[in-house]
């Protein structure tokens, strides 16, 4: 019992990357879709999550145990559900272990004091790690559908750019500068301020340490770049779908608009936009009329209620306008209404998933505007 469009999305995709601004219920939506997919299709589903709310995580058996994949028991499921958290530190270490040309290099890199600071500054390692994990999940052959929850908004794009950035980094002037000894006569006067800035930004006093680290890092160039290319190709192929989640709030809408435009510009396959945390339609419709009736009452208590209905009418009208805006983005639109209470177990997630709908929302009669809504 799920919406047709949602079912089609879950059936057709091999990977769904869920992105969007923070604070709109993205992680919960990703988990809900995972539960729905496992229940209603025969797929083996993996949900990769970055930062689930503690109660949700506990309820699903996810603890802070690095990258462990946890099977989630679901009654009457046609498929299966596994969830995992993406642990940046553990994943980055795994990457170094995998690509280092020998154990000596590996140990030197992992043991380098500047290792973590430098990698996070220059290649946004936490973003790259997300791409590593989703690539591994796809390549493993263990899953038919991978749903990836990404960090909020601009970071989501940063995730998508990570492979290309990794590739560019290895051929960049920046890396050459960083691996040249500071005392070298080859350095022109023009480069010297760079080291002052680098020193200030990185907080690192020892340029020799930096040089050593990056010299080691360069030995991993070939396997890392090769893998980065394959990950990049995965992110843009047609079996990888993108779902942008937003709410109707102005802050979220701005970010979502930006994301949709950027995804299109980078030729990623935008499947749908999920508008979350909407007003229950049966309350939105008719609010203005109910307000008028209550306001006309002689009972002062009832006029107080009129204010509440007027506020609801205003909220609904704003929301109706945002629904129009989202429709103008040209993607399929899915809607989900606010839930009472927190989502803390798989039953609640299943209900949430089942309530996501592509049915168009008409707000008729909330107030007067040029569209007669």
Partner 1 sequence: MTGKGGVGKSAVAAALARVAADRGKRVLVCEMDDKGSLATYLGREQLGFEPVTVAQNLAAMAMNTEDSLREYIRLYLRVPIIGSLAPLARIFDFVANAAPAVKEILAIGKLCYEVRENNYDLVIADSEASGHFVAQVSAPDALAALVRIGIVADQTKWMSNLLHDHSVSSVLAVVTPEEMPVVETIELRERLAKATPVNFAGVVINRMPAVVGVAVSGASSAAATDASVSGASVSDETRAVVDWLTMRRTAAEGHARALADAFELGNVETLSEAPAKGGDASAGNRAPTAIVAHLVGEINRVLSEHA
365 counts as binding partner 1 under rule CB under 8 A: no
Which residues are CB-contacts of 274 (< 8 A; sequence separation ≥ 6)? Answer: 20, 29, 243, 244, 245, 246, 333, 334, 335, 336, 356
Asked if residue 297 binds partner 1 (CB under 8 A), the reply is yes
161 belongs to the binding site for partner 1 (CB under 8 A): no
Rounded to a whole number of angstroms, the CA Rg of the chain reads 25
Q: In terms of CB distance, is 12 or 307 closer to partner 1?
A: 307
Q: What span, in angstroms and rounded, lies between the C-alpha atoms of 33 and 190?
A: 54
DSSP H/E element including 87: none
Can you tell me which of 22, 66, 223, 365 binds partner 1, judged by CB under 8 A? 22
Of 23 and 330, CB closest to partner 1? 23
The residue within the footprint of partner 1, chosen from 103, 184, 196, 265 (CB under 8 A), is 196
CB 220 to partner 1: min, Å: 25
Q: Which stretch binds partner 1 (CB under 8 A): 7-15, 157-165, 193-201, 232-240?
A: 193-201
309 binds partner 1 (CB under 8 A): yes
CA distance 352 to 337: 9
| Closest distance to partner 1 from the beta carbon of 286 (Å) | 7
CB of 198 to partner 1, least distance (A): 8
Q: Which of 1, 208, 233, 302 binds partner 1 (CB under 8 A)?
A: 302
Q: Which residues, including other chains, have CB under 8 Å from residue 300's CB and lie 6 or more apart? A: none
CA distance 61 to 72: 7
Dihedral over alpha carbons 21, 24, 30, 32 (to 10 degrees): -170
CA angle 367, 369, 371 (to 5 degrees): 115
Does residue 294 belong to the site contacting partner 1 (CB under 8 A)? Answer: yes
* Cβ atoms 343, 349 nearer than 8 A: yes
Strands 269-278 and 240-246: parallel
Residue pair 20/270 in contact (Cβ under 8 Å)? The answer is no
- Which residue, chain included where needed, has tokens 């843009």? 236
CB of 141 or CB of 300, closer to partner 1: 300
Smallest gap from Cβ 21 to partner 1, in A, equals 6
Q: Quick check: 127 binds partner 1 (CB under 8 A)?
A: no
Instruction: Give residues in contact with partner 1 (CB under 8 A).
Output: 21-23, 152, 193-194, 196-197, 200, 249-255, 279-280, 282-283, 286-288, 290-292, 294-295, 297, 299-302, 304-305, 307-314, 317-318, 338, 340, 366-369
């Amino acid at each position: 019992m799920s919406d047709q469009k949602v079912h089609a999305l879950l059936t057709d995709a091999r990977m769904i990357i869920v992105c969007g601004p923070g604070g709109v219920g993205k992680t919960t939506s990703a988990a809900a879709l995972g539960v729905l997919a496992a229940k209603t299709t025969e797929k083996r589903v993996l949900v990769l999550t970055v930062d689930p709310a503690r109660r949700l995580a506990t309820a699903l058996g996810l603890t802070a145990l690095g990258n462990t994949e946890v099977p989630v028991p679901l009654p009457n499921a046609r498929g299966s559900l596994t969830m995992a958290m993406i642990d940046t530190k553990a994943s980055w270490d795994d990457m170094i272990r995998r690509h280092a040309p020998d154990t000596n290099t590996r140990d030197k890199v992992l043991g380098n004091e500047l290792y973590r600071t430098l990698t996070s500054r220059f290649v946004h390692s936490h973003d790259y790690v997300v791409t590593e994990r989703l690539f591994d999940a796809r390549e493993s052959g263990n899953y038919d559908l991978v749903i990836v929850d990404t960090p909020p908004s601009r970071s989501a794009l940063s995730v998508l750019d990570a492979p290309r950035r990794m590739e560019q980094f290895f051929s960049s002037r920046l890396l050459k500068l960083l691996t040249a000894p500071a005392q070298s006569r080859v350095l022109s006067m023009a480069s010297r301020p760079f080291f002052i800035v680098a020193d200030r930004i990185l907080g690192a006093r020892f340029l020799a340490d930096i040089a050593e680290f990056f010299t080691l890092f360069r030995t991993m160039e070939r396997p890392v770049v090769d893998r980065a290319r394959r990950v990049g190709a995965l992110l843009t192929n047609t079996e990888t779908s993108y779902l942008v989640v937003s709410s109707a709030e102005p802050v979220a809408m701005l970010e979502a608009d930006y994301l949709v435009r950027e995804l299109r510009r980078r030729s990623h396959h935008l499947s749908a936009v999920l508008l979350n945390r909407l007003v229950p339609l049966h309350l939105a419709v008719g609010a203005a009329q109910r307000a008028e009736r209550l306001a006309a009452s002689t009972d002062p208590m009832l006029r107080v209620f009129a204010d509440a209905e007027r506020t609801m009418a205003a909220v609904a009208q704003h929301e109706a306008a945002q629904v129009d805006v989202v429709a103008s983005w040209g993607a399929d639109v899915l809607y989900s209404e606010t839930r009472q209470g927190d989502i803390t177990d798989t039953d609640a997630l299943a209900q949430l998933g089942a309530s996501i709908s592509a049915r168009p929302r008409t707000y008729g009669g909330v107030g007067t505007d040029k569209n007669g809504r």
